Structure 1
Amino acid sequence: MERLSLSQYITKVVWPAFGVTMRILIATVILATILGLIMAMLLTVTKKDGIKPNKFIFNTLDFLINIIRSFPFLILLVSLVPVTRFIMGTSIGERAAIFPLTVSMSPFVARLIASHMDSVERQLIEAAQSFGALPRQILWHVIMVEAVPGIVSVISFTFVTGLGATTAAGMVGAGGLGSIAMRYGYSNFNDKIMYFTVLILIILVQIIQYIGDWVYRKVK
């Protein structure tokens, strides 16, 4: 494999890989947040002391979330290869990585958001019920409003966790910074390139965390 100087590595390799990583990450976080939010709302509404209890829906969803969460990410990624190929038309590359990443992260997002929804004071919910508010009104205008700061912190956490998972996926065919660290760094015995990629990931995490903390302070 051709050995590149650090400047050539940055211009020819890093920036394209950075773009791939960010596209995968942003798409995954958006999809995982949407799916996780839907599952969290169902868990919150249908739990035993929820505003509309439904034991079957809660137990079924709770079981599915626990099953998916029990899979290590790389094992889940490999086990979903046939499904990914059927849905996305390919099992490698940028597009193919989004599906297993979303499947892997959605249950974690659901659990975290549900915990913030469950922490909403019961007195607020009972007050809304006493005024005749419908379950959907309580969900959207009481529980969701009170849980917004927590949801923001979950999204920030999801970006950080998703960056790690996206990098790991890159090492097994998804492309991006993980693929570059493996191909140009580890496999080519070039520690400088490998550690430079790690530095980029560290900086990205710090930026994401800073933005997340700033937004959290604004909405709290």
Structure 2
Amino acid sequence: MYMPEPTVGSVISEIEKRMKRLQAMVEIAEESLRFEEGRRKAPKPSQGNMWTYLITALAWTLGGLFILYLFRSRYSGVVGGAPTGVSIVVYAIIALGIVAVLLFYYLPRRRGAVEEFDLDERARAAKLLIKNLYAPLKEALLEDNDTALGAMADKLLEDPLLAHAMEVVREGDPRLAAYALYLYVSFKSGNVSLEDVAEAVEKVDNRPLQLLLESLLPEEGSIIL
């Protein structure tokens, strides 16, 4: 199956597509966070009272269970074991029931908190990538500025925030992205072979940079993904 050779123009189109996707991610995350903020502002006294009631009931039940256990172990010869044993079982069942209800309330809240944190982190990471990776990459390619491309590769290796942002929004391994940029610049300087470029295309997991490396390959050496 024939596939047209990638060009710098197709790389820029892919970069613009990525920027739009990241911007949509930012808008969705911000809208979700605003919605959650509105929900938190709404009064919910019943949930707080229920939480306090369940904690108090659990403490009371466990305390009663402990007292019954001590009573039975110390006075088993005086008081019949059967009634006390039944009471202990009943208290244990009640305690387990309350624990189950607490977990039912706690786990959804915990998941909601993690999801909210992830949304906020992904929004910040997407903004960072648009500003510090894709926008400068697009500009450097339009201007055919190899010095700027090399500087971007340096930044991917030296800036932990930018590297982490790539991982958060799953835009590829920052080290492989830096390697792809170094390879592109070095190939244009005549310091890298076609075999090295072809091998790198299979490893780089950022689509715009894959296309950028593919644009260096002759038609018969293009790698179809």
Check whether TM > 0.5. no
Instruction: Give the TM-score normalised by the residue count of structure 1.
Output: 0.31
Instruction: Give the TM-score normalised by the residue count of structure 2.
Output: 0.30
Name which one, 1 or 2, has greater alpha-carbon Rg.
Answer: 2
